[in-house]
Structure 1
């Protein structure tokens, strides 16, 4: 096979030659260096490389080029070589453009000119990017096809599982000609039907069967770890990254998909380091890849149902009967959306009524009247995203305005979108439909009225997922986990506290078990604070292990 390519593009011939020269000095033995002096010329080179079947490992593009900026080039080049690492060469004055490019083209790094001496400022960056490229699984994903009814709760759940786990798939309505052929070949099976690239058929698969079929890990590789993290939201992913990067043998167990509630957000705009915002799915995917790069194991479809102490070990029990033990545990199970108490709505869940953003359904809302219930940031972000495709988005809030629970920037954004209407003092009292949602009954300042709609997205507060911890660790009246100083009354340790020290800040009433993120009592309920909790919990795990 021919050597993989390192492509550099810069309209300044002197800079272009200098970049190519430095690349050849260090990488010529293992890589072929290709130089271009414009974006169009570089794209043409990439097309030729693809036609010949050659691979491209890295694309280094100058930002300021007259015919096509570096960001514009990288955006088009992604379609040709999606796995190539993308580096933007920029002057100090263009750092804002480079930061924006992180979201536009999933930029891997930006490098300031000049980069001398290369041993300090150039080669370490390129070495890191090439190492990441070599670690990436570049096998093109096979075509995964999902056949199901338009209004089927389980079909939606399968699509949501695949989407949130970043698994590409093609959705086929059971009435389409291609679906009919697949169903006939499979013997008219129960739906949904999933057909893998090698022709394997999965009939109404469980999440675990689906995960195994698409290559997601569903079982731990060992019986004992330094650290078990339960929950794959921002807190859990943060804990996995910091735990694994600091040398702890770490396993993360997630029931559905990495990212938690944050992973369903269409756009998070107030997270540090992303001035143009980042989707929850992007943030979760980057954190997952980062955790795996440091050696953390990520288990999908793991349903944790119990926790107990056995001497110095902390043992997690799963619904399938398996157990995993560790020196320490971080509970980052997050919260789940509270169910909407309105007549008939529960029976329509997954067939018109959705809890959370349900990103897999967004394209189907084109030119429709859509209703969003809730007044916090998650509801506002979903409304903004839905407004891009829907005819009209109605936000229903019980309060007299959005100011009480939504960020100011998001309120202003909503006010500037013409097809979003906010209905204050309004609640849903009933939902109806045959086979799927067809109408809602609303109660508001104008009295009761019925509206026709097939789409309702619910964001009405959250509840912790801690029922399985009853009697194991202390919880507050709402089910949140009590930690650290809140366990201490008048400076005295809890009566049943078994060790001669005060509980650490994020430690629960069971020593060696910590809580992080939204599941912790009185936490901030923000992505940044959840990540911070995860990092802090790992630091406290180290302290616990040192004194155990």
Structure 2
């Protein structure tokens, strides 16, 4: 197979030769470096690469080119090579346009001219992007196929699980000829979907997440009976804890109920995380963290739910939903929070069939040309609005308060104001949903006047509230009235009716009412709900784990 290609596009012959030279010097042994003098000729070259079935890793396009500028080229090239990494080459005067391009066409990075010395200004960027490209699943490899109905909640659940775990799959509608043939071959009917055919030809009918995880190569059973630290939840806090624990030689297991990344993993783009000036998608950030944790030796369990925590002498026991259990010297609770469910009439019946909790970004292509409604007034909802505006005819952002200023970052408010197809509706709530096989209408209520309005839409994405799923800790770990885990100085004092601190020494800052059990990230009471703070608390928890172990 031919080497993967790196394509550069620049109408200035001197710049074109210079960047091609620098790229060949560093990457020529592993990649073919192609160059084109215009966007049109570059697209023609990409069509030939596509026809030959050759891979493309990175595209670097100059912003200022006649006829077709760099942004327009990258947008067109995405249709041919959607997984290739995209870089915009620009002069200092055009950095504003470059930053806008990051949001418009999902550019991965922009580079300023000149990029000398390349060892400092070019190669580190390309090294990172090539690492991300090489880590992405190969779409040409054997793939998992899903046969289901477009508006089926079980079919959506399978697609969401695979998408969030970065498992490549191909969706086939049950009423398409290929879908009908696969159903017949499996000996089932369209009423039995979803049908999953794994890359090795195994057939699964309406599988559970655990069954699906096992068949697509995710680990669901622990390899050992006892660990130094067990981390529950693979969001930013859990991943941070796992990376620091394993890198420091602790036997570490990371247990995740659904998919790596948590809510952060569903974010279309995180732009205020330290060290990523051009932003990074939640999936990219958390996948890099997952690979980092695994490289240090963390054992990662997917689709595995912890249903009970018990203190057993100097150890702690975790019991799983399937009946298995493991022990650990210490535990880090990093289970995060879930989006609150809407209470409007009929909305529950459309979950996964028009009503989606979280971004469900893989549904974006299906929204093309439609009106999309998003509920929420914080960063997650704002990021989703910007993302879906690339596909939808119009995005309606429903905000319970007067505007976005109370809980949305300023940079996101500016982005929303710059997109003419995004409309913010203040004081608005969803009162009800209606439809036959899927959501087709929404009833909106003005919470000032009570006035009701009915609109046609099959797309409602919900980003409201933060509910910790900590019911399984009842009677074991002290929590506040909303279910968030209490730690350190916030723990109940002696005489309290709640679970209280049992030792003479004071609890460590992130320690729960059970010694040796720590909480980090959004699940912790009074925590700062930001990715950076969650990662920091995960790292801090491991420092306290060491202190706890040394004192035993």
With normalisation by structure 1, the TM-score equals: 0.81
Equivalent residue, structure 1, for 2:188:
188
Q: 2:208 aligns with which of 206, 215, 229?
A: 206
- How far apart are residue 524 of structure 1 and its match? 0.7
CA distance in 1, matches of 2:406, 2:546: 39
Equivalent residue, structure 2, for 1:505:
509
Q: For 1:439-468, what per-residue CA distance to the aligned partner results, in whole angstroms no more than 9, with x for missing partners? A: 222221471222222111112211111100
Equivalent residue, structure 2, for 1:163:
163
CA distance in 1, matches of 2:122, 2:399: 53
- How far apart are residue 269 of structure 1 and its match? 1.8
Equivalent residue, structure 2, for 1:249:
251
Equivalent residue, structure 2, for 1:221:
223
CA distance in 2, matches of 1:125, 1:452: 44
Instruction: Label 1:193 to 1:267 Cα distance change in 2 as closer, same or farther (>3 A).
Output: same
Determine if the alignment matches structure 1 residue 238 to structure 2 residue 267.
Answer: no
CA distance in 2, matches of 1:7, 1:441: 50
Within-5 A mapping of 1:400-415 = 400-415=402-417
Equivalent residue, structure 2, for 1:476:
480
CA distance in 2, matches of 1:508, 1:348: 38
Instruction: Label 1:476 to 1:150 Cα distance change in 2 as closer, same or farther (>3 A).
Output: same
Equivalent residue, structure 2, for 1:266:
268
Q: For 1:322-350, what per-residue CA distance to the aligned partner results, in whole angstroms no more than 9, with x for missing partners? A: 10111111000001111111111112111
Equivalent residue, structure 2, for 1:178:
178
CA distance in 2, matches of 1:496, 1:453: 50
Equivalent residue, structure 2, for 1:522:
526
- How far apart are residue 412 of structure 1 and its match? 2.1
Equivalent residue, structure 2, for 1:538:
542
Equivalent residue, structure 1, for 2:150:
150
- How far apart are residue 217 of structure 1 and its match? 1.2
Equivalent residue, structure 1, for 2:470:
466
Equivalent residue, structure 2, for 1:396:
398
Q: For 1:297-324, what per-residue CA distance to the aligned partner results, in whole angstroms no more than 9, with x for missing partners? A: 1111011100011111111110001101
Equivalent residue, structure 2, for 1:435:
437
Structure 2 alignment gaps of length 5 or more: 9-13
Contact 1:92 1:113 in 2 (8 A): no
Instruction: Label 1:94 to 1:422 Cα distance change in 2 as closer, same or farther (>3 A).
Output: closer
Determine if the alignment matches structure 1 residue 343 to structure 2 residue 350.
Answer: no
Instruction: Label 1:381 to 1:185 Cα distance change in 2 as closer, same or farther (>3 A).
Output: same
Contact 1:144 1:194 in 2 (8 A): yes
- How far apart are residue 360 of structure 1 and its match? 2.4
Contact 1:517 1:534 in 2 (8 A): yes
SS of alignment partner, residue 380 of structure 2: helix
CA distance in 2, matches of 1:335, 1:497: 24
> How large is the RMSD of aligned CA atoms in angstroms?
4.5
Equivalent residue, structure 2, for 1:366:
368
Number of residues of Structure 1 aligned to a counterpart in Structure 2: 531
Contact 1:141 1:168 in 2 (8 A): no
Instruction: Label 1:408 to 1:66 Cα distance change in 2 as closer, same or farther (>3 A).
Output: closer
- How far apart are residue 434 of structure 1 and its match? 1.6
- How far apart are residue 498 of structure 1 and its match? 3.8
Contact 1:438 1:454 in 2 (8 A): yes
SS of alignment partner, residue 544 of structure 2: helix
Instruction: Label 1:123 to 1:290 Cα distance change in 2 as closer, same or farther (>3 A).
Output: same
Contact 1:91 1:113 in 2 (8 A): no
Within-5 A mapping of 1:418-429 = 418-429=420-431
SS of alignment partner, residue 464 of structure 1: coil
Q: For 1:491-531, what per-residue CA distance to the aligned partner results, in whole angstroms no more than 9, with x for missing partners? A: x9x99534342111111011111000000000011111111
Contact 1:92 1:112 in 2 (8 A): no
Instruction: Label 1:443 to 1:195 Cα distance change in 2 as closer, same or farther (>3 A).
Output: same
Equivalent residue, structure 1, for 2:460:
456
Instruction: Label 1:328 to 1:140 Cα distance change in 2 as closer, same or farther (>3 A).
Output: farther
CA distance in 1, matches of 2:131, 2:459: 45
Structure 1 alignment gaps of length 5 or more: 25-30
Instruction: Label 1:447 to 1:44 Cα distance change in 2 as closer, same or farther (>3 A).
Output: closer
Equivalent residue, structure 2, for 1:386:
388
Contact 2:357 2:463 in 1 (8 A): yes
Contact 2:438 2:458 in 1 (8 A): yes
